[in-house]
Amino acid sequence: MQGFKVGYFNNSKLFVKLKMDKADGSYLRELAKIERQDVIILNDFGLQTLDSHNRITFLEIIGEKTIADAILDRLIHQSHRISLHGKSMKKKKKHKQGIIF
């Protein structure tokens, strides 16, 4: 995407990182970095169900239920889902490294 700032994040790693950032005081700085992106790609978002533990973690990271609900609402109603078809690049990469599935 030429001309756009794109942030690519693994969903579960992002939430863990933000939780750690909140603990060490760099949370607002990290959120500002994310906000500067024109496009945010959340890899594997939705693969884990939002059970009670994950919801609590999400709320802890965000800090306020209203804001967390607004974020989820935007993700659900204003996002684009891209489905990829074909052979898995992860499998291809592992096969080259000598790991066979």
Q: How confident is the model at residue 101 (pLDDT cuts 50, 70, 90)?
A: very low
H/E stretch holding 73:
helix 65-77
Beta strands in 22-80 (DSSP E): 39-43
Mean pLDDT to the nearest integer, 52-76? 75
- pLDDT number for residue 31: 82
How far are the Cα atoms of 12, 41, 84, 99, 101 from residue 45, in angstroms, in the given order? 8, 9, 14, 26, 24
Q: How confident is the model at residue 95 (pLDDT cuts 50, 70, 90)?
A: low
Q: Is the pLDDT of residue 83 over 50?
A: yes
Q: Looking at this protein, which amino acid is placed at residue 24?
A: D
pLDDT (tens digit, 9 = 90+) per residue, 11-61? 888 878 888 888 899 988 988 888 888 888 878 877 766 667 667 767 776
Residue whose C-alpha is closest to residue 60's, from 5, 7, 21, 6: 21
Q: Pseudo-torsion of CA 58, 64, 70, 74, nearest 10°?
A: -40
- pLDDT number for residue 97: 60
